[in-house]
């Protein structure tokens, strides 16, 4: 079964050339990326007992970023020493990612494939801001589980589904603040933490940490929160 939602691919493909424009259509991802990366780094270093102060803490680790977009997460991970593979179903986006990595002097294996077409296994698999865009979330989580090695780590990030996330994730982000183009998200496809945890367990993944990602309008910055999961959140799971 394909995880691809063709309408979602078309929505993102039209802006593919602007992935690295910090003031463009992907501005919110650039804004939250440092905080998101700090969570990813902490989770991986804890799981694999790596030194967080090392310049290359991910050396010899293989990491797959599913739905990698233009490579906003892949490139920092490569700089931290990981062997990185980025996969995306949008061919235009993958070409943008390849060109930017080449210009940056970074080696990232970018593949124009959905999760179910990848045949290798990795130490870490990331599925960031993608499950709310796939055709079948449960099948997608199962595909993600097959891609991580036994004893490995999977990290999801997505949007919760509740009235607050509708107001902030749809109304405010798309229509008032114009952070992202209108129609970027469908609130009905947002996934509650309990739902994602249930899907993970059904796919032989064990959830072990859930952390909210909140926006502070006074400082104009994103931050992590253990208590506020109402809008954006990250879920870390262990395999086996």
Which of 36-40, 171-175, 203-207 has the lowest average pLDDT? 171-175
Cβ atoms < 10 Å from Cβ of 219: 8
Which of 29-38, 94-103, 212-221 has the lowest average pLDDT? 212-221
Whether the Cβ atoms of residue 3 and residue 115 lie closer than 8 Å to each other: yes
166 pLDDT above the threshold of 80: no
Whether residue 1 lies inside any domain: the answer is: no
Q: What is the largest CA-CA distance in the chain?
A: 45
**How does pLDDT run across 3-25, given as a tens digit for each residue?**
666 776 766 677 888 999 998 88
- Mean pLDDT across 191-220: 94
Higher pLDDT: 233 or 183? It is: 233
170 contacts: CB under 8 Å, gap ≥ 6: 185, 187
If one counts the domains in the chain, the total is 1
Strand order in the sheet with 221-225: 109-111, 83-87, 62-66, 122-128, 148-159, 232-239, 205-216, 221-225
State how beta strands 148-159 and 232-239 pair.
antiparallel
pLDDT of residue 181: 62
Burial of residue 204 (number of CB atoms within 10 Å: 0-12, 13-18, 19+): middle
pLDDT of residue 188: 82
pLDDT of residue 177: 53
206 alpha carbon, distance to own chain's centre? 18
**How does pLDDT run across 203-213, given as a tens digit for each residue?**
999 999 999 99
3-state SS track over 211-229: EEEEEECCCCEEEEECCCC
Question: How many whole angstroms separate alpha carbon 237 and alpha carbon 70?
Answer: 25
- Structural domain of 207: 6-239
239 pLDDT above the threshold of 60: yes
The CATH number assigned to the domain holding 68 equals 3.40.50.150
């Amino acid at each position: 079964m394909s995880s691809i939602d063709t309408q979602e691919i078309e929505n993102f493909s039209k802006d593919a050339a602007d992935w690295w424009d910090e003031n463009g259509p992907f501005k919110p991802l650039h804004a939250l990326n440092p905080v998101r990366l700090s969570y990813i780094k902490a989770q991986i270093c804890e799981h694999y007992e790596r030194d967080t102060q090392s310049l290359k803490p991910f050396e010899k680790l293989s990491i797959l970023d599913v739905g990698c977009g233009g490579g906003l997460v892949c490139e920092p991970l490569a700089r931290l020493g990981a062997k990185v593979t980025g996969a995306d179903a949008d061919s235009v986006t993958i070409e943008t990612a390849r060109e930017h990595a080449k210009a940056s002097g970074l080696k990232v294996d970018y593949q124009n494939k959905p999760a179910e077409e990848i045949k290798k296994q990795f130490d870490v698999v990331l599925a960031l801001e993608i499950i709310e865009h796939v055709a079948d979330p449960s099948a997608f989580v199962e595909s993600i589980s097959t891609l991580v090695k036994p004893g490995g780590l999977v990290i999801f990030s997505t949007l919760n589904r509740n009235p607050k996330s509708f107001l902030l994730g749809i109304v405010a982000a798309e229509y008032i603040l114009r952070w992202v183009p209108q129609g970027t998200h469908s609130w009905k496809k947002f996934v509650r933490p309990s739902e994602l945890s249930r899907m993970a367990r059904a796919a032989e993944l064990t959830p072990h940490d859930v952390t909210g990602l909140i926006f502070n309008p006074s400082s104009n910055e994103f931050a992590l929160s253990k208590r506020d999961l109402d809008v954006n959140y990250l879920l870390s799971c262990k395999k086996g």
